[in-house]
């Protein structure tokens, strides 16, 4: 375990690149990597690593639902596995948040592969049905408290293919350290960019019908979380118009230690995303933002999350966003439709003392397992926070006419935008 803390073999050139972003590893025509079954299998890595599977959905009344399993390793200590769940109703402003350490975690469960897992408190079963309208499903069953039970089926529509950035076993991976082949750490994301949930959530004796679109991500941070990133941005947009419209985007910004010219050249942003139009995967996007290098407007590929307006937040000490904008642009992967897909969305979330659609400001150190909190050496005074919002928004999108009628002239699609902004240091 200590090899990840202290290296006795520094790089020959201290100014050599020590970060290798997935967003710069592939040309535009090779951004779309099809998911293979093993891509979403649990790996349960040792050392300092966090692996997670997360399902986000937006129900018909606008309610936000999140189910998450987190596998956290801290060196030679036995891993901690958490199941977290949150439901937020924007109409009543009521939030229910539950995070429990589960017992007797197993993957794979008997008769299944490692895309499934179970513990005493839950079971998540991956089911395949090739050639059908929904070729893959996750069935989530959980008993998290006397007043909270979950029974959900998360279905992937046949046209909304899962993806990673880049094909093959190295697709999706950003590597930390001077030698990517013997990396000090890594980050990888694999996505289902659109899902459809059906089922029931029993909360405080009331049965809530859970039906609505969403997305799924399987992610691994293969090093200590405070070394991976200083910032994160995440967004997904959902609409049932035009046969199903979704966008998803995940961005992390490295610490100052990892960049193009070694330590001190960091704060590199890696952004990956996708656009689903008419219920089918239409484009995969990926872009690297190097520090002090402006991003041009007229580009073939763009994948950007921007805090377009900010204000100081006295609660957290950060320059918190009051307006956020997102852009996706990339070559069409829609069958028979060549050209570029370009989509944009923005959201005004109000000021920190009167946020619109704020679900929660999550105090990260209050939520992560105690053993990790004591082992991860955050800089003194650092307060990691995650801002989470859900608001109505519009997606403005242009692209080849063969994807959707009117798309070449541009469509403005109303929907719901869920977004997170995470500050670590």
Give the model's pLDDT for residue 339: 97
pLDDT in tens, 201-222: 999 999 999 999 999 999 999 9
| Sequence-ordered alpha helix ranges (H) in 85-131 | none
Buried b (16+ CB within 10 A) or exposed e, 289-301: beeeeeeeeeeeb
Which residues on neighbouring strands pair with residue 280, listed in sequence order? 277
pLDDT of residue 102 exceeding 70, the answer is yes
Tokens standing for residue 135: 């070729």
Average pLDDT, the chain: 93
Residue 152 has pLDDT above 70, yes or no: yes
What is the domain count for the chain? Answer: 1
What's the CA gap between 271 and 22, in Å, rounded?
9
Sign of CA dihedral 59, 87, 141, 159: positive
Q: Which residue has the higher pLDDT, 346 or 8?
A: 346
Radius of gyration of the chain (CA): 21
pLDDT of residue 368: 63
What is the spatial distance between Cα 24 and Cα 33, in angstroms, rounded to a whole number?
14
Mean pLDDT computed over 303-325: 96
Question: What CATH number is associated with residue 356?
Answer: 2.40.370.10
Mean pLDDT check: name the lowest of 2-6, 50-54, 193-197: 2-6
Specify the pLDDT at position 227. Answer: 85
The pLDDT of residue 373: 53
Q: Which tokens in the block code for residue 38?
A: 């093993």
pLDDT, position 148: 98
Q: Is 377 exposed, middle or buried (0-12, 13-18, 19+ CB in 10 A)?
A: exposed
According to DSSP, the β-strands at 350-351 and 64-75 are unpaired
Domain that holds residue 259: 2-423
Q: What pLDDT, on the 0 to 100 scale, is given for residue 381?
A: 53
pLDDT band at 13 (very low <50, low <70, confident <90, very high): confident
How confident is the model at residue 369, as a pLDDT?
58
Residue 10 banded pLDDT, cuts 50, 70, 90: low
Residue identified by tokens 């957290």 is 316
Which of 224-238, 314-328, 331-345, 390-404 is the least confident region?
224-238
For residue 12, is pLDDT > 80?
no
Sign, Cα dihedral of 39, 42, 47, 52: positive
Q: In whole angstroms, give the CA distance from residue 392 to residue 237.
A: 9
- CA 329 – CA 324 distance, rounded (Å): 17
Task: Identify the sign of the CA torsion 63, 64, 67, 72.
Answer: negative
Tokens 């990926």: give the residue: 286
Q: How many Å separate Cα 74 from the centre of its chain? A: 22
In a 10 Å sphere around its CB, with 0-12 CB exposed, 13-18 middle and 19+ buried, how is residue 409 labelled?
exposed
Question: Using alpha carbons only, what angle is made at residue 329 by residues 324 and 335, rounded to the nearest 5 degrees?
Answer: 135
- The residue-averaged pLDDT of 183-211 equals 97
What's the first-to-final CA gap in the chain, in angstroms? 24
Residue-wise pLDDT for 325-381, tens only, equals: 999 999 999 999 999 999 999 999 999 999 999 999 988 777 665 545 544 444 445
User: For residue 97, what is the DSSP state?
Assistant: E
Of the chain, the percentage scoring pLDDT greater than 70 comes to 93
Query: Where would I find the beta strands (DSSP E) of 302-349?
Result: 302-312, 319-331, 340-348
Tokens found for residue 137: 């499903």
């Amino acid at each position: 375990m200590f090899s990840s803390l202290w290296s006795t073999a520094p790089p020959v050139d201290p100014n050599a690149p020590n970060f290798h972003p997935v967003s710069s590893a592939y040309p535009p025509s090779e951004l779309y990597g099809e998911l293979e079954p093993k891509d979403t299998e649990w790996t349960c890595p040792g050392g300092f690593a966090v692996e997670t599977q997360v399902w986000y959905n937006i129900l018909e009344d606008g309610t936000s639902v999140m189910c998450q399993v987190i596998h956290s390793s801290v060196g030679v200590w036995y891993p901690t596995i958490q199941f977290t769940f949150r439901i937020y109703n924007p109409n009543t402003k009521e939030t229910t948040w539950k995070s429990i350490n589960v017992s007797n975690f197993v993957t794979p469960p008997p008769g299944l592969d490692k895309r499934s897992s179970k513990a005493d408190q839950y079971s998540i079963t991956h089911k395949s049905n090739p050639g059908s309208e929904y070729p893959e499903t996750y069935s989530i069953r959980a008993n998290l408290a006397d007043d909270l039970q979950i029974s959900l089926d998360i279905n992937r529509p046949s046209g909304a293919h899962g993806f990673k950035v880049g094909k093959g076993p190295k697709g999706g991976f950003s590597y930390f350290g001077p030698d990517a082949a013997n990396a000090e750490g890594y980050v990888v994301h694999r996505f289902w960019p659109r899902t459809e949930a059906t089922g029931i959530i029993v909360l405080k004796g009331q049965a809530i019908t859970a039906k609505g679109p969403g997305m799924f991500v399987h992610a691994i941070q293969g090093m200590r979380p405070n070394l991976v990133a200083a910032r994160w941005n995440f967004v997904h947009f959902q609409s049932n118009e035009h046969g199903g419209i979704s966008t998803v985007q995940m961005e992390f910004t490295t610490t100052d230690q990892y960049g193009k010219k070694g330590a001190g050249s960091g704060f590199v942003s890696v952004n990956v995303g996708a656009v689903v139009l008419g219920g089918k995967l239409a484009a995969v996007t990926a872009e690297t933002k190097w520090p002090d290098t402006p991003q041009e407007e007229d580009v073939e590929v763009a994948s950007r999350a921007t805090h377009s307006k900010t204000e100081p937040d006295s609660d957290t000490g950060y320059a918190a966003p009051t307006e956020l904008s997102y852009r996706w642009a990339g070559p069409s992967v829609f069958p028979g439709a060549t050209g570029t897909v370009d989509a944009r969305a923005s959201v005004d979330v109000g000021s920190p003392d009167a946020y619109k659609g704020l679900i929660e400001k999550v105090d990260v150190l209050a939520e992560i397992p105690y053993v990790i909190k004591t082992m991860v050496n955050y800089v003194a005074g650092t307060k990691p926070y995650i801002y989470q919002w859900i608001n109505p928004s519009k997606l403005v999108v242009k692209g080849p006419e063969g994807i959707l009628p009117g798309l070449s002239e541009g469509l403005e699609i109303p929907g719901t935008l869920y977004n997170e902004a995470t500050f670590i240091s």
